[in-house]
């Protein structure tokens, strides 16, 4: 019984210490704010997803065309808009990528 009590006590202390660890490590941090993605970050993410979707759709269209699932006319009518979508998404992302490189360069 006493062994159980001691072990239980040790366990409880260890648990409390682990839970309190973030506060013990940074008793007075510069910022305790949990960052959420701001509007520019959300837009970048949406554009990145858009770009990946467009590229994946293109890849799948090419594959479906090569395996005969998509006819030549359907391929021709679908590939144009998809390529445009992908190009637009890539273009919209570029200024941001450039912007990030700017920030990194200036911080060095």
Binding-site ranges for another protein (CB under 8 A)? 1, 4-5, 7-8, 11-12, 14-15, 18-23, 26, 29, 31-37, 41-42, 44-46, 48-49, 52-53, 56-57, 60-61, 63-64, 66-71, 73-74, 78
CB 85 within 8 A of CB 55: no
How many Å separate Cα 102 from the centre of its chain?
A: 21
Nearest distance from residue 108's CB to another protein, in Å?
19
Q: Give whichever of 46 and 87 is closer to another protein, judged by the CB atom.
A: 46
Closest CB 21 distance from another protein, rounded Å? 6
Question: What tokens were used for 32?
Answer: 């305790």
Q: Report the C-alpha gap between 9 and 13 in whole angstroms.
A: 6
Integer CA distances (angstroms), 96 to 16, 43, 75, 84, 107, in order: 44, 10, 32, 19, 16
| CB of residue 56 to another protein, shortest distance in Å | 7
Q: 60 or 87, CB closer to another protein?
A: 60
């Amino acid at each position: 019984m006493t062994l159980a009590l001691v072990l239980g006590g040790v366990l409880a202390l260890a648990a409390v210490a682990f839970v309190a660890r973030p506060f013990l490590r940074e008793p007075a941090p510069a910022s305790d704010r949990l960052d959420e993605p701001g509007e520019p970050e959300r837009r970048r993410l949406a554009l990145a997803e858009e770009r990946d979707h467009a590229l994946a759709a293109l890849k799948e269209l090419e594959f479906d065309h090569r395996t005969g699932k998509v006819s030549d006319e359907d391929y021709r009518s679908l590939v144009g808009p998809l390529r445009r979508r992908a190009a637009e998404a890539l273009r919209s992302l570029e200024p941001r990528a450039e912007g990030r490189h700017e920030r990194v360069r200036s911080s060095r």
